[in-house]
Amino acid sequence: MAVASPMRDLAAIVGADNVLPGSTEPYGRDFTYEILRLHGVADAVVRPGDAGEVAEVLAWCYDRELPVIPRGGGTGYAGGAVPVDGGVVVALDRLTRVRSFEPHWWRAEVEAGLTTATVSRLARENGLLFPPNPGAPEQSQIGGNVATNAGGPRAFKYGVAGRWVTGIEAAVAPGELVRIGGATRKDVAGYDLRNLLVGSEGTLGIITAIWLRFVPAPEASASVAAFYPDPVSGCAAIGQALGSGLVPAAVEYADAGVLDASGGALEAELPAGARFLVLLELDGSTDEVRRSREEAVEALSDGAISILRPADAAEERALWRWRAGMGPAVTAVTGGRVSEDVAVPADRLVDVVVGVTEIGARHGLPACSLGHAGDGNVHGCFLLVPGDPDQLERAYRCSDELCELALTLGGTVSGEHGIGWIKRGRMTRQWGAVGAGMHAAVKAALDPKNLLNPGKKT
């Protein structure tokens, strides 16, 4: 298509300053670029200033049959925001108003472009907690968090992003604004189109604003790190902890390969023989946290080599900094990796942890995993030297086998990152013919011209 004329038309909607050439970076990439070099060139990038402009841009594109690629902070791991086949990127980064905030009633209405960190800070500074913490909070946007139904460690106790959403405003085909829900906490008047938009990765509409709910911030939190000689004893300890009635905020794990890659960054010394880490975060009242930490130590002790209890808040923070650095440390081993975020019933975690290393070994690639053990959510990493096409090909085969393993265990091909572009075809594999048929029927019903982020989430 000729770009000049659309850019003039779009400028009439959002202003000339807010229409950028389709090749403008970083709008052609997301977090997958680093490893996969996934990159696209749009026909144009537009930055609407409010929800009404988003709807107008969508109407304009829908009328001309131009694909629309909604974009949040660009921190996705599935290529969902990448304009792989042209079209108009609609960036939400100018929609940053807090439309209302009622801390006494634990709620806010915010626009989609607000960063996750800003939302978290708003809550925290008012004695509240916004539980989702999917990572990259200074860059990721709340609209993207909701559009991908982002998770993170605290999802074990607090659920994923969608759980904190009571209402959504979105631009939908053929270019109108709709509001589903609002500040009311309970609503069974219609189908749950709110949760249908949550996690739809921009393929059913462009989320422009969100009614969020919060909870009062817990008074205290504390962590316990337990080290084991192998995944079997570590996973058994997780079962022991959950079976004891503890309800941790987070139940994380890391396997031997991750400990090898990141052990040097732990402030304390990694215990000799440690090949599996279980990391719990407990929160609640001060008394409750003190007691549940003792219970956690007790429950985790069977089979443990050693148990680490941070002595103060500074040690707590250091422990979680170590946890946050594990992903980059793994990447740094060879310079690149292909990762899969499968999830399985939590009691099958051990099968996936062992499976990841076996699959890697079979294809001659170092492999390791870490993730959200309480939710059975594994980030399986297959390490490679960037730019080596043979290793990349083998890593993809590993990914495929890991997804197959997760499905065999009754799990999902994606617990957190979504399908986006790079996992296309996997939703259909997971859902089977009947489910995938329903999925396709819903997409066709709400986006009859297939212009909302086409080719993604399939």
**Residues 198-237 contacting its own copies, CB under 8 A:** 198-200, 204, 215-217
Residue 308: left if φ>0, alpha if ψ -120 to 50, beta else—which one? beta
| Residue the block writes with tokens 């946007």 | 141
Cβ 437 to its own copies, closest distance in Å? 9
- What is the rounded distance in angstroms from the CA atom of residue 367 to the CA atom of residue 382? 5
| Stretch in the footprint of its own copies (CB under 8 A) among 13-21, 268-276, 283-291, 312-320 | 283-291
Q: What is the DSSP string of 162-222?
A: GGGEEEEEEEETTTEEEEEE-S-S---SS--HHHHHTTSTTSS-EEEEEEEE-EEPPSEEE
List the interface residues with its own copies, window 374-403 (CB under 8 A).
374-377
Distances 8 to 5, 12, 171 between C-alpha atoms, Å: 5, 6, 22
- Give 313 or 444: the residue with its C-beta nearer to its own copies: 444
Q: What is the DSSP string of 340-363?
A: E--B--GGGHHHHHHHHHHHHHHT
Q: Tell me, by CB under 8 A, how many residues bind its own copies.
A: 91
Cβ 3 to its own copies, closest distance in Å? 31
CA atoms within 13 A on the CB side of 336: 18
CB-CB contact of 81 with 30 (8 Å): yes
| Stretch in the footprint of its own copies (CB under 8 A) among 8-16, 184-192, 314-322, 353-361 | 184-192
| 107 contributes a contact to its own copies by CB under 8 A | yes
Q: What is the DSSP string of 238-267?
A: HHHHHHTT---SEEEEEEHHHHHHHGGG-S
Cβ 187 to its own copies, closest distance in Å? 4
List the interface residues with its own copies, window 121-180 (CB under 8 A).
127, 148-149, 151, 155-156, 159-160, 162-163, 172, 176-180
Judged by CB under 8 A, which of 25, 85, 192, 390 binds its own copies? Answer: 192
Residue 12: enclosing H or E segment and its boundaries? helix 4-14
Q: Which of 325, 332, 338, 454 is nearest to 397 (CA)?
A: 338
- What is the rounded distance in angstroms from the CA atom of residue 444 to the CA atom of residue 212? 29
- Give 328 or 345: the residue with its C-beta nearer to its own copies: 345
- Give 245 or 389: the residue with its C-beta nearer to its own copies: 245
Cβ 322 to its own copies, closest distance in Å? 23
| Stretch in the footprint of its own copies (CB under 8 A) among 15-23, 69-77, 195-203, 304-312 | 195-203
- Give 75 or 148: the residue with its C-beta nearer to its own copies: 148
- Give 28 or 284: the residue with its C-beta nearer to its own copies: 284
Amino acid letter, residue 365: L
Cβ 435 to its own copies, closest distance in Å? 5
Judged by CB under 8 A, which of 243, 272, 312, 389 binds its own copies? Answer: 243
List the interface residues with its own copies, window 10-69 (CB under 8 A).
none
Cβ 176 to its own copies, closest distance in Å? 5
Cβ 189 to its own copies, closest distance in Å? 5
Sign of CA dihedral 94, 71, 442, 192: negative
Look at residue 160 and give its three-state secondary structure: coil
Judged by CB under 8 A, which of 245, 269, 389, 425 binds its own copies? Answer: 245
- Give 29 or 107: the residue with its C-beta nearer to its own copies: 107
Longest dimension (CA), the chain: 69
Judged by CB under 8 A, which of 25, 63, 85, 102 binds its own copies? Answer: 102
- What is the rounded distance in angstroms from the CA atom of residue 64 to the CA atom of residue 1? 11
- Give 345 or 364: the residue with its C-beta nearer to its own copies: 345
| Stretch in the footprint of its own copies (CB under 8 A) among 253-261, 269-277, 326-334, 339-347 | 339-347
- Give 366 or 420: the residue with its C-beta nearer to its own copies: 420
Judged by CB under 8 A, which of 2, 5, 125, 190 binds its own copies? Answer: 190
434-443 long-range Cβ contacts below 8 angstroms, 24+ apart:
442/196, 442/204, 443/203, 443/204
CB-CB contact of 35 with 80 (8 Å): no
- Give 102 or 393: the residue with its C-beta nearer to its own copies: 102
CB-CB contact of 81 with 63 (8 Å): no
List the interface residues with its own copies, window 416-455 (CB under 8 A).
416-419, 426-427, 430-432, 434-436, 438-439, 441-446
- What is the rounded distance in angstroms from the CA atom of residue 213 to the CA atom of residue 215? 7
Sign of CA dihedral 133, 417, 160, 332: negative
Binding map of its own copies across residues 312-331, x = CB under 8 A, - = no contact: --------------------
Judged by CB under 8 A, which of 195, 306, 334, 450 binds its own copies? Answer: 195
- Give 391 or 399: the residue with its C-beta nearer to its own copies: 399
